Amino acid sequence: MENFYESMYQLIVETSTNLPKDVRRAIAAAKQRESAGTRSAMSLATITNNIKMADDNISPICQDTGLPTFKLKVPVGANQLVMKKEIKRAIEQATKDGKLRPNSVDSISGDNSGDNLGEGTPVIKFEQWENDYIDARLILKGGGCENKNIQYSLPCELDGLGKAGRDLDGIRKCIMHSVYQAQGQGCSAGFIGVGIGGDRTSGYELAKEQLFRRVDDVNEREDLRQLEEYVVEHANELGIGTMGFGGETTLLGCKIGVINRIPASFFVSVAYNCWAYRRLGVFIDPKNGSINEWLYQDGEEIDFGHDEVAATKEQSLQTREVVLEAPITEEKIRELKVGDVVRINGMMYTGRDAIHKYLSENDSPVDLNGQVIYHCGPVMMKDEDGNYHVKAAGPTTSIREEPYQGDIMKRFGIRAVIGKGGMGPKTLKALSEHGGVYLNAIGGAAQYYADCIKSVEGVDLMQFGIPEAMWHLKVEGFTAVVTMDSHGNSLHADVDKSSLEKLAQFKEPVFK
Ligand SMILES: O=C(O)C[C@H](O)C(=O)O
Ligand code: SF4
DSSP notation for 414-481 = --EEEEBS---HHHHHHHHHHT-EEEE--TT-HHHHHHHEEEEEEEE-GGG-TTTSEEEEEEEEEEEE
- Mean pLDDT for back-to-back runs of 10 residues, the chain (512 residues): 97 98 96 86 94 97 98 97 98 98 97 97 98 98 98 98 98 98 97 98 98 98 98 97 94 98 98 98 98 97 71 57 95 97 97 98 98 98 95 97 98 98 98 98 97 97 97 97 98 98 98 88
**Count of C-beta atoms within a 10 Å radius of residue 281:** 23
So what's the pLDDT on residue 305?
A: 81
Q: How far is CA 8 from the centre of its chain?
A: 23
CA distances, 422 to each of 41, 109, 310, 442, 468 (Å): 19, 28, 27, 11, 20
Which ligand gives the minimal distance to the CA of 145? 2
How many helices and strands, by DSSP H and E, does the chain display?
15, 20
Q: Find all residues with CB under 8 Å of 390, minimum gap 6, and list them.
A: 378, 379, 380, 450, 453, 456, 473
Residues forming beta bridges with residue 137, ordered by sequence position? 71, 281
Q: Which atom of ligand 2 is nearest to the CA of 142?
A: 5
pTM, whole model, 2 decimals?
0.96
Mutate to test the pocket of ligand 1, among 397, 449, 466, 471 (most ligand atoms within 8 A of CB): 397
For ligand 2, is residue 144 a contact (CB within 6 Å)? yes
Q: Which atom of ligand 2 is nearest to the CA of 274?
A: 8
For ligand 2, is residue 187 a contact (CB within 6 Å)? yes
Q: How far apart are CA 465 and CA 380, in angstroms?
A: 11
Mutate to test the pocket of ligand 2, among 17, 44, 64 (most ligand atoms within 8 A of CB): 64
Smallest CA separation from ligand 1 atom 3, residue: 64
Closest CA to 135 of 376, 296, 364: 296
In contact, 487 and 436? CB cutoff 8 Å: no
So what's the pLDDT on residue 246?
A: 94
Q: How far apart are CA 183 and CA 422, in angstroms?
A: 10
Contacts 24+ apart (CB under 8 A), 261-264: 261/197, 261/198, 261/199, 262/199
DSSP category for residue 303: P
So what's the pLDDT on residue 310?
A: 46
Q: Which atom of ligand 2 is nearest to the CA of 186?
A: 7
So what's the pLDDT on residue 306?
A: 62
So what's the pLDDT on residue 38?
A: 85
Distance 327 CA to ligand 2 centre (A): 29
Peptide bond into 122 cis (omega under 30): yes
Q: How far apart are CA 36 and CA 247, in angstroms?
A: 11
DSSP secondary structure letters along 48-74: HHHHHHHHHHT--SSS---EEEEEEEE
Smallest CA separation from ligand 2 atom 5, residue: 142
Tell me the three state secondary structure of residue 379: strand
**What is the residue type of 274?**
C
